[in-house]
Amino acid sequence: MRKPQAAVGSGHRKQVDSQKGRKRRALSSSQANPAPEGLAGQQEAVVLQASVSPYHQFRDVAEVTAFRGSLLSWYDREKRDLPWRRLAEAEVDLDRRAYAVWVSEVMLQQTQVATVINYYTRWMQKWPTLQDLASASLEEVNQLWAGLGYYSRGRRLQEGARKVVEELGGHMPRTAETLQQLLPGVGRYTAGAIASIAFGQAAGVVDGNVVRVLCRVRAIGADPSSTAVSQQLWSLAQQLVDPARPGDFNQAAMELGATVCTVQRPACLQCPVQSLCRAHQRVEREQHSVSRSQPASPDVEECAPGAEQCQLCPPPTDPWDRTLGVTNFPRKASRKPPREEYCATCVLEQPRALGGARILLVQRPNSGLLAGLWEFPSVALEPSGQHQHKALLQELQSWAGPLPASRLRHLGEVVHTFSHIKLTYHVYALALEGQTPVTTASPGARWLTREEFHAAAVSTAMKKALVFRLYEGQQPGTCKGSKRSHLSTPSNRKKPSPGQQVLDSFFRPLTPP
């Protein structure tokens, strides 16, 4: 199955979409197995665009065959032992095999392999079949997914499982085309991965690792997110995929990018396709010219696209940097900065509740950011943050009734960045001292003990020390004085305060007896 998308420390996979309707020409059928038509020709037989310079293509069948053979031989020797690979290899039922691949592919999007392993193992133990997942509640899905991030992935995965069970007779679509057409949240990459690994379809895939490998192997230096580059990368992936072992080939390409052809410090000496890599050839040529005190000829001369600037070569404004070597490729895609949002949130606590201290969590709406997850009561704020104290108190009282406003203390601020949002939390605390403990809560709210808190579907921002670690210098619930601070980290905190130690202990995951 599919591999982490990037090397250790940078395993975030990125799908690359392709534009439709561009004229293409196929290589001979001896170079690759023709794939079924559909999805506006996305999974056509191996294709090359007539306008692309041969420098960015593979010359002939022999070169394609050499690339496949070298990569697969390396993969057979060096592939990592991962639970989803073991499961896919051992499972004979095609629907269960495709489901196992599907779960891993969704979890691995934007998430490192090391993080996914435990989540994947627990998921498959709890819901080993599509039918099991389809019968689960969204609350259960969110609970297991909590901490993995990008929570809509889990929700869409369950929606897809229900569609397969309720509308498709419990059988997964068998081709990349129908997978993408019929299953919610399944894009071109995921469809190709499932089809190739589970069903043996010769469908190429392009994720962040494959982008890096192909950009270096064929010296593609233009923005990978551009239409021209995206089309060429998908064309190359389809050209190269081995029709005899498509699933292994796709996993091998991703494995190469994850472990050898990494974002930084790639291990070129260990690369099985080094002799076919144009980026490496460029480095060697540069080194040779330096040793002979001769200027190196630029890539554009080898590309020779004609009078116009090649759409796949680096732009003139981004010349080759000799100090970067092969990491000149791929060019870093331009990204919009995340938009900034602000909210006020409060740790409302009953320190003397029966059975131990309890904190109030409320459930977010079933759509939008962190849909359906549980959090401390919060209100959105304007950037100025004006009137946040009053707005937050009103929100708290809507859940818990009349509260002592004078005890609402501002503790500090925490910044948590999601994929597209930079969210600043203004963190407050309020303890219900000397009041009759509340045992019930309004619909959509819960008073949770420590054990229940850890079992709840709580976001990383709430659960993993981004909010409650500000609750420093005090026993949980005492609220004696407030302390403004930013999030403490292991690098800037010399020694946790006594109150922090108590708080960390309160929220520390429980260990089984």
User: Is the pLDDT score of 480 beyond 70?
Assistant: no
Angle at 189 between CA 184 and CA 195, to 5 degrees: 85
What's the pLDDT at 334? Answer: 73
Strand partners, 343: 380, 425
Angle at 36 between CA 31 and CA 40, to 5 degrees: 110
User: Is the pLDDT score of 120 beyond 90?
Assistant: yes
CB-CB contact of 54 with 236 (8 Å):
no
Q: How far apart, in whole angstroms, are the C-alpha atoms of residue 335 and residue 17?
A: 16
User: Is the pLDDT score of 473 beyond 70?
Assistant: no
What's the pLDDT at 295? Answer: 56
Q: Could you give phi then psi for residue 51, rounded to 5 degrees?
A: -80, -5
- Within the chain, which residue ranges are assigned CATH 3.90.79.10? 339-473
Q: How far apart, in whole angstroms, are the C-alpha atoms of residue 1 and residue 308?
A: 41
Q: How far apart, in whole angstroms, are the C-alpha atoms of residue 127 and residue 152?
A: 18
Q: How far apart, in whole angstroms, are the C-alpha atoms of residue 133 and residue 136?
A: 5
The lowest-confidence range among 94-103, 296-305, 364-373, 501-510 is 501-510
pLDDT digits (tens, 9 = 90+) for 214-268: 999 999 999 999 999 999 999 999 999 999 999 999 999 999 999 999 999 999 9
Strand runs (DSSP E) across 35-120, as ranges? 47-48
User: Is the pLDDT score of 27 beyond 90?
Assistant: no
Q: DSSP string spanning 451-465?
A: HHHHHS-B-HHHHSS
Q: What is the percent of the chain where pLDDT is above 70?
A: 75
| 396 pLDDT tier (thresholds 50, 70, 90) | very high
| Residue from 68, 110, 103 nearest 88 by CA | 103
CB-CB contact of 127 with 87 (8 Å):
no
What's the pLDDT at 286? Answer: 85
| 32 pLDDT tier (thresholds 50, 70, 90) | very low
Mean pLDDT of 63-75: 98
Distances (CA, A) of 336 to 1, 181, 333, 420, 421: 31, 29, 10, 8, 11
Q: Which fold has domain 339-473?
A: Nucleoside Triphosphate Pyrophosphohydrolase (3.90.79)
User: Is the pLDDT score of 90 beyond 60?
Assistant: yes
Residues 6 or more apart from 505 whose CB is under 8 A from it?
A: none
Q: How far apart, in whole angstroms, are the C-alpha atoms of residue 235 and residue 247?
A: 17
pLDDT digits (tens, 9 = 90+) for 152-187: 899 999 999 999 999 999 999 999 999 999 999 999
Mean pLDDT of 142-150: 88
- CATH class, 82-205 region: mainly alpha
- Within the chain, which residue ranges are assigned CATH 1.10.340.30? 82-205
CB-CB contact of 481 with 473 (8 Å):
yes
Angle at 265 between CA 259 and CA 269, to 5 degrees: 70
Angle between helical axes of 152-167 and 138-145 (0-180°, round to 10):
140
CB-CB contact of 195 with 175 (8 Å):
yes
| Residue from 116, 192, 189, 182 nearest 154 by CA | 116
| Residue from 306, 323, 303, 64 nearest 314 by CA | 303
Q: How far apart, in whole angstroms, are the C-alpha atoms of residue 350 and residue 347?
A: 10
Mean pLDDT of 405-415: 86
Residues 6 or more apart from 5 whose CB is under 8 A from it?
A: 11, 12, 13, 14, 108, 109, 110, 207, 208, 209, 254, 257, 258
Q: How far apart, in whole angstroms, are the C-alpha atoms of residue 457 and residue 447?
A: 14
Number of other CB atoms surrounding residue 267 within 10 Å: 12
User: Is the pLDDT score of 33 beyond 80?
Assistant: no
The lowest-confidence range among 182-196, 338-352, 454-468 is 454-468
Is residue 72 classed as helix, strand or coil in its secondary structure? helix
Strand partners, 353: none
Q: Is the N-terminal amide bond of 365 cis, ω within 30° of 0?
A: no
For the chain, the helix, strand and coil percentages under 3-state DSSP, each to the nearest 5? 40, 10, 50
What's the pLDDT at 302? Answer: 73
| 308 pLDDT tier (thresholds 50, 70, 90) | low
| Pairing assessment for the beta strands 409-417 and 421-431 based on DSSP bridges | antiparallel
What's the pLDDT at 299? Answer: 47
> Which residue's structure tokens are 């293409």?
24
Three state DSSP letters for 380-405 = EECCCCCCHHHHHHHHHHHHHCCCCH
Catalytic residues: 105
The lowest-confidence range among 275-284, 366-375, 492-501 is 492-501
Residues 6 or more apart from 255 whose CB is under 8 A from it?
A: 3, 75, 78, 79, 80, 209
Q: What is the mean pLDDT of the chain?
A: 80
Distances (CA, A) of 490 to 46, 97, 426, 487, 493: 51, 42, 21, 10, 5
Is residue 482 classed as helix, strand or coil in its secondary structure? coil
| Pairing assessment for the beta strands 421-431 and 339-350 based on DSSP bridges | parallel
Three state DSSP letters for 152-199 = HHHHHHHHHHHHHHHHCCCCCCCCHHHHHHHCCCCCHHHHHHHHHHHH
CB-CB contact of 397 with 390 (8 Å):
no
**Which tokens belong to 87?**
């499961």
**How many Cα atoms occupy the beta-carbon half-sphere of 314 within 13 Å?**
21
User: Is the pLDDT score of 54 beyond 60?
Assistant: yes
